[in-house]
């Protein structure tokens, strides 16, 4: 009985690990097409279709695939992964030379929390020019732009970093004008998801397998809650990053044409008020349907992975074991004299 219970707990643990790996892969790889769609919708200030609901994006996706191929929504994946890896590397490097903690808990002191926030802000500030370069690669059209090289994100990021105080192009905002909104947006999303995740985790849960499942759900809910809460700020931020880059993106009104990004915002507030006056409040939520699709796909992958792993583990556990051979029982009659000195094993 104890052995069966131990095996059941072990199987649940491995299922939880498998689901966690699937969620991580989905977050960093499989969700990229929806990120591309969302960003392309956000930066198109002259579009007539806002794509607030997922159903309006489906025909556009079909048209894009017919015209540009299946890989059209996977553009910029390499640069996105490089920027994420660079973010982790910068954080790790800073923590090696400073006392700033990389991780905190609810029991951390106020000083440790402040140092942790300072670490996040510094990292976001350093990554800002490279984030701009990566954003361009994810939204530019494949049929109207040259495909970027593997390390172009570093080259373009360094160019923007060198021109810190002034832009090398007419309407492009300097990096210092983008650092504050980028850090503010990233920090708000991080703190919001941290609070949502912490509020969803019970403090007195002792079961490790249940805790693992709840933590995964809490992380997913916190991630998408933060994306939904700060979606308007992300729209403004992406428009500021793209301004002056001469980017030509796919026209998501139809999916057949391309359109240039031509804006002349002076800053965050100018972008905000201009968007409200020209596009209305819904203009800040362009591409929200892509975020809904991303969340639905993420949940579907988790559900399918859990179902498959559960069925596989059930099949493995239900394999019939080999029947043990019958044991010889002693008889009351004495054995024959010629067999009395031999021992017969049950196999």
In a domain, 326, yes or no: no
Task: Residue 139: name the closest of 234, 66, 248 by CA.
Answer: 248
Is pLDDT of 346 > 50? no
H/E segment holding residue 169: none
Q: How many domains does the chain have?
A: 1
pLDDT for the residue numbered 339: 39
Q: Over the stretch 255-274, which tens digit does the pLDDT of each residue have?
A: 888 999 999 999 999 999 99
> CB-side exposure of 41: number of CA atoms within 13 Å?
33
In a domain, 180, yes or no: yes
pLDDT for the residue numbered 165: 59
In a domain, 339, yes or no: no
High-pLDDT (> 90) share of the chain, %: 57
Residue identified by tokens 């942790």 is 116
- 95 neighbors 102 (Cβ within 8 angstroms): yes
Is pLDDT of 33 > 50? yes
Q: Over the stretch 86-111, which tens digit does the pLDDT of each residue have?
A: 999 999 999 999 999 998 887 888 99
In a domain, 32, yes or no: yes
Token duo for residue 196? 């949502």
Q: Over the stretch 144-184, which tens digit does the pLDDT of each residue have?
A: 777 888 888 998 888 888 776 555 556 888 888 999 999 99
- 106 neighbors 198 (Cβ within 8 angstroms): yes
Q: Over the stretch 72-92, which tens digit does the pLDDT of each residue have?
A: 999 999 999 999 999 999 999
In a domain, 153, yes or no: yes
Is pLDDT of 188 > 90? yes
Q: Stretch 44-49: mean pLDDT, rounded?
A: 92
In a domain, 57, yes or no: yes
Is pLDDT of 342 > 60? no
Put simply, whether the predicted model's pTM sits higher than 0.75 gets the answer: yes
Q: Which structural domain range is residue 255 located in? A: 2-319
Cα 132 from Cα 138, distance rounded (Å) = 10
Cα 275 to Cα 41, 259, 312, 317, distances in angstroms: 14, 18, 52, 59
pLDDT for the residue numbered 292: 96
Is pLDDT of 337 > 80? no
Cα 239 from Cα 262, distance rounded (Å) = 10
Which of 342 and 35 is assigned the larger pLDDT? 35
- Low-confidence winner among 13-22, 49-58, 66-75 (lowest mean pLDDT): 13-22
In a domain, 346, yes or no: no
Cα 288 from Cα 249, distance rounded (Å) = 18
CA 183 and chain centroid, separation: 18
In a domain, 330, yes or no: no
- Residue 335 DSSP class: P
Q: Quick one: pLDDT band at residue 316, thresholds 50, 70, 90?
A: confident
Task: Please report, for the domain that includes residue 222, its CATH number.
Answer: 1.50.40.10
Is pLDDT of 6 > 50? no
Task: Residue 223: name the closest of 294, 288, 303 by CA.
Answer: 294
């Amino acid at each position: 009985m104890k052995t069966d219970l131990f095996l059941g707990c072990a199987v649940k643990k491995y299922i939880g690990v498998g689901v966690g790996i699937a969620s991580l892969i989905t977050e960093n790889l499989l969700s990229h097409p929806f990120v591309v769609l969302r960003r392309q919708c956000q930066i198109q200030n002259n579009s007539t279709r806002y794509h607030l609901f997922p159903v309006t994006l489906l025909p556009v996706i079909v048209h894009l695939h017919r015209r540009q191929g299946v890989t059209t929504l996977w553009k910029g994946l390499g640069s996105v992964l490089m920027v994420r890896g660079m973010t982790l590397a910068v954080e790790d490097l800073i923590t090696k030379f400073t006392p700033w903690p990389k991780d905190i808990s609810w029991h951390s002191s106020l000083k440790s929390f402040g140092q942790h926030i300072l670490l996040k802000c510094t990292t976001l500030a350093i990554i800002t020019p490279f984030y701009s370069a990566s954003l361009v690669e994810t939204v530019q059209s494949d049929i109207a732009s040259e495909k970027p090289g593997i390390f172009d994100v570093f080259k373009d990021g360094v160019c923007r970093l060198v021109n810190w105080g002034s832009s090398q192009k007419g309407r492009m905002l300097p990096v210092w004008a983008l650092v504050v909104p980028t850090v503010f947006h990233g920090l708000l999303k991080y703190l919001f998801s941290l609070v949502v995740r912490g509020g969803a985790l019970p403090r007195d849960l002792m079961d490790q397998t249940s805790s693992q499942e709840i933590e995964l759900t809490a992380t997913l809910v916190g991630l998408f809650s933060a994306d939904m809460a700060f979606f308007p700020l992300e729209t403004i931020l992406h428009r500021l990053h793209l301004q002056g880059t001469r980017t030509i993106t796919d026209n998501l009104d139809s999916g057949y044409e391309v359109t240039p990004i031509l804006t002349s915002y002076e800053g965050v507030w100018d972008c905000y008020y201009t968007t409200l006056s020209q596009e209305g409040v819904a203009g800040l939520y362009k591409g929200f349907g892509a975020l809904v699709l991303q969340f639905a796909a993420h949940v579907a992958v988790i559900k399918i992975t859990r179902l498959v792993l559960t069925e596989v583990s059930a099949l493995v556990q239900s394999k019939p074991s080999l029947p043990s051979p019958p044991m010889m029982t002693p008889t009351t009659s004495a054995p024959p004299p010629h067999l009395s000195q031999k021992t017969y094993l049950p196999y």
